[in-house]
């Protein structure tokens, strides 16, 4: 093809596009519907009695190709229990400046503690606000859930939780709620970082 015809070909694309049906998005007034399995913001899930599913194993962090997850596990005690079994995730951070929303972390999670929501409105104006802490990622407490820390459902073992035998909190689990704990399950603290969230160690 002769080179001097190239500009004419280019205008041909413009001309053809002028007559196509226009797609107008009214975002943000109308939120765009995403596919049901869209990879959006992560969520740390709870058992039906409110205990956390995360066991602090760090498999999600090791699976992440972008090194976006930081986890520190700790031991549950009889006085302070956040998850069934031995360990829970004491510190949990996802750095959304690094995350590429590939979903490898949720595949790696052995307890289905970590899943992804359809939430995509995550833009913010500082780097700090894009590092989400555990309290930002924990799923909400719904009806029938007690605020951790609290004991496991009476007469159960951690295996019962994973077999789906526990379907809601027992009244005795509510009585053990520590009044110093906030409704999101994070320990109440006076220390806050630049974003207004409780201060915690941040991924470099």
By CB under 6 A, residue 68 contacts ligand SF4: yes
CA–CA separation, 116 and 189 (whole Å): 28
CA–CA separation, 116 and 43 (whole Å): 6
By CB under 6 A, residue 166 contacts ligand SF4: no
Instruction: Count other C-beta atoms under 10 Å from residue 136's C-beta.
Output: 19
Instruction: Count other C-beta atoms under 10 Å from residue 200's C-beta.
Output: 19
Which listed range, 4-12, 51-59, 131-139, 196-204, lies at the site for ligand SF4 (CB under 6 A)? 51-59
By CB under 6 A, residue 130 contacts ligand SF4: no
By CB under 6 A, residue 89 contacts ligand SF4: yes
Inter-CA distances, 17 with 6, 49, 81, 177, Å? 17, 56, 61, 62
Q: What are phi and psi of 42, to 5 degrees?
A: -75, 160
Query: Nearer Cβ to ligand SF4, position 41 or 150?
Result: 41
By CB under 6 A, residue 58 contacts ligand SF4: yes
By CB under 6 A, residue 111 contacts ligand SF4: yes
By CB under 6 A, residue 59 contacts ligand SF4: yes
Query: Nearer Cβ to ligand SF4, position 68 or 146?
Result: 68
């Amino acid at each position: 093809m002769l080179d001097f015809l190239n500009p004419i070909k280019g205008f041909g694309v413009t001309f053809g596009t002028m007559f196509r049906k226009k797609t107008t998005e009214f975002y943000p007034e109308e939120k765009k519907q995403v596919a049901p399995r869209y990879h959006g913001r992560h969520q740390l899930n709870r058992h039906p009695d409110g205990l956390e599913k995360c066991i602090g194993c760090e498999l999600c962090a090791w699976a992440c190709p972008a090194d976006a997850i930081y986890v520190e596990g700790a031991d549950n005690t009889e006085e302070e229990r956040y998850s069934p079994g031995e360990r829970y995730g004491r510190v949990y951070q996802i750095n959304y400046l690094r995350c590429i929303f590939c979903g490898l972390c949720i595949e790696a999670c052995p307890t289905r503690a970590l899943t992804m929501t359809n939430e995509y409105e995550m833009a913010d104006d500082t780097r700090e606000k894009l590092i989400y802490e555990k309290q930002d990622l924990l799923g909400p407490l719904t009806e029938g859930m007690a605020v951790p820390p609290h004991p496991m459902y009476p007469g159960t073992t951690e295996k019962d939780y994973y077999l789906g035998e526990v379907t809601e909190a027992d009244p005795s689990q509510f009585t053990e709620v520590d009044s110093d704990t906030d409704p999101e399950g994070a320990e109440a603290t006076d220390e806050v970082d630049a974003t207004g969230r409780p201060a915690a160690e941040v991924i470099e």
